[in-house]
Amino acid sequence: MSIEIVNVHKAFGENEVLKGFTLTIPVGQTTSIIGGSGSGKSVALKHIIGLIRPDVGDVWVDGDNVSRLDQNSVYALRRKVGYVFQFAALFDSMTVADNVGMGLKRIPDLAEGWIRDRVAECLHLVDMDGFGDRYPSELSGGQKKRAGLARAIATEPTYLLYDEPTTGLDPVTRAVIDDLIVRMAEELGVTGVVITHDMTSAFRISDRVAMLYDGRIRLEGTPAEMRQTEDPIVKGFIEGRPELLESAT
């Protein structure tokens, strides 16, 4: 039971984004993939649930090769993977409660009452009791992210994928989202994959950190190991020192 990304290459036209991306996500832990803007982090994450298919390479989730699955099998796999989008991607024509219940409505034989209770439970888990009747346009950025998280956990997934969960938030709200990610791992026991360029957040929430650079993993380790590295590319990125990056390239 794990996620394994093996030698994935992906290009969009002339732009080769992933060039042999390989990473194993340990079960029951939270792994952050860090890297600069445009380094291909989101592209890598979307490969895990088959939103993007690799040109070369394989993505394995619980023993299934996502890139070779037919559409129905991909949909079945997506029910055990929750995805928290960068800007929440809430359906703006629906209330928060309807958004959270969307994934549940795809599961056969669930009673309306059960879905309603589960939606309320998920909103409670992300501290959004009483927000069910609001529309996304009535929420702040942090509330949207929490509603997106509630939608992702509604189907009780084994894995949770977070796309830049703290981008664009103020420091206090960032801390709240970080705490939620840690709580999801501890209380629900989910395996988390977070992509971020927010180093404070990455070190706070992660069991492991991997840096994506030039289309492949440059270095992987625990937060402590990453902090101690002498690799100028990784060190320059973590410490926000462009001169180290420039000297190394």
Among residues 83, 159, 162, 213, which is the contact residue for another protein, using CB under 8 A? 83
Give the nearest distance from C-beta 240 to another protein in angstroms: 28
Helix (H, G, I), strand (E, B) or coil at 195: strand
H or E element that contains 208: strand 208-213
Give the nearest distance from C-beta 114 to another protein in angstroms: 17
Give the nearest distance from C-beta 189 to another protein in angstroms: 21
**Using N-to-C axis directions, what is the helix angle for 171-188 and 112-125, rounded to 10°?**
130
- Joined together, the tokens standing for residue 225 give 């190991």
Number of CB atoms found within 10 A of residue 244's CB: 18
Does position 195 interact with another protein (CB under 8 A)? The reply is no
Residue with smaller CB distance to another protein, 9 or 46: 46
> Which segments of the chain does DSSP mark as H helices, in order?
41-48, 71-78, 96-105, 112-125, 141-153, 171-188, 199-205, 223-228, 232-238, 242-248
Residue with smaller CB distance to another protein, 79 or 204: 79
Residue with smaller CB distance to another protein, 148 or 236: 148
Stretches 29-37, 79-87, 126-134, 234-242: which one binds another protein (CB under 8 A)? 79-87
Ramachandran class of 175: left when φ > 0, alpha when ψ lies in -120 to 50, beta otherwise:
alpha
The residues in 17-46 that bind another protein, with binding defined as CB under 8 A, are: 46
Does position 91 interact with another protein (CB under 8 A)? The reply is yes
- Joined together, the tokens standing for residue 92 give 């703006």
Stretches 77-85, 118-126, 176-184, 205-213: which one binds another protein (CB under 8 A)? 77-85
Query: What mask of x and - would describe binding to another protein in positions 119 to 158, judged by CB under 8 A?
Result: --------------------------------x-------
Contacts 24+ apart (CB under 8 A), 72-79: 74/49, 74/50, 75/106, 77/49, 77/50, 78/49, 78/50, 79/103, 79/106, 79/107, 79/155, 79/157
Stretches 32-40, 85-93, 205-213, 236-244: which one binds another protein (CB under 8 A)? 85-93
Among residues 61, 90, 115, 181, which is the contact residue for another protein, using CB under 8 A? 90
The residues in 93-122 that bind another protein, with binding defined as CB under 8 A, are: 102-103, 106
Cα–Cα distance for residue pair 167/198, rounded to 1 Å? 8
- Joined together, the tokens standing for residue 83 give 């995805």
Give the nearest distance from C-beta 125 to another protein in angstroms: 18
Among residues 79, 116, 134, 227, which is the contact residue for another protein, using CB under 8 A? 79
Residues that bind another protein (CB under 8 A): 46, 49, 51, 71, 75-76, 78-79, 81, 83, 85-87, 89-92, 102-103, 106, 151
